[in-house]
Amino acid sequence: MVILDPGHGFNTEGKRSPVWEDGTQLFEWEFNRDIARAVKEELSQHKIKSVILVEEAIDIPLYTRANRANNLSRQFPGSFLISIHGNAGGGRGWEVWTCPGQTESDKLATKLYQSAKYYLKDYQMRHDYSDGDPDKEARFTILTKTVCPAVLTENLFFDNRDECRFMLSETGQRLLTKIHVDGIINYMREM
């Protein structure tokens, strides 16, 4: 079972782009849910079972998210989790995070990174090869409190005008969906 976590809710402060000169604005909670739903739909076309961890529009506490994921992974052995996000903070590019150390999550992260590198040729790939693989590492609750392999993707920077426009575009959302779907399929081939 692929567990898709659309990170953040509408009530999480600051998780939105500036209002651009054309009047558009990205709300991360909507973006995350749009990508998660598109990934779920495309996975179903490949006969891959998936579930969206948080259907609510409000933010769900991180421990609640982790507990939900743990219950699903116990019910469906072999499950893994992908937490989908947009990034902010003045940077550029795409990145994937795992918990510290070498775990099964690193294999999933590497497949997603390879897929992102393929589909986002015009965008920076943010990475940390200090431990031999491209994922960055942190003790994010969704990564450390889940019993299944878990990664967190940061799908470009919504406070960067050009990247935000891509994230809002039909082409951008299609390619960001493909990154996840192809990464999942390639990971599952090696499980």
Tell me, what's the pLDDT at 159?
A: 97
pLDDT tens over the chain, length 191 residues: 999 999 999 998 889 999 999 999 999 999 999 999 999 999 999 999 999 999 999 999 999 999 999 999 999 999 999 999 999 999 999 999 999 999 999 999 999 999 999 999 999 999 999 999 999 999 999 999 999 999 999 999 999 999 999 999 999 999 999 999 999 999 999 98
Tell me, what's the pLDDT at 189?
A: 96
Domain 2-189 has CATH 3.40.630.40: yes
| Residue-by-residue DSSP string for the chain | -EEEEE---TTSTT-BPPPPTTS---BHHHHHHHHHHHHHHHHHHTT--EEES---SS---HHHHHHHHHHHHHHSTT-EEEEEEEE-SS--SEEEEE-SSS-HHHHHHHHHHHHHHHH-TTS-B---GGGSSS-EE---HHHHS-SS-EEEEEEEETTSHHHHHHHHSHHHHHHHHHHHHHHHHHHHHT-
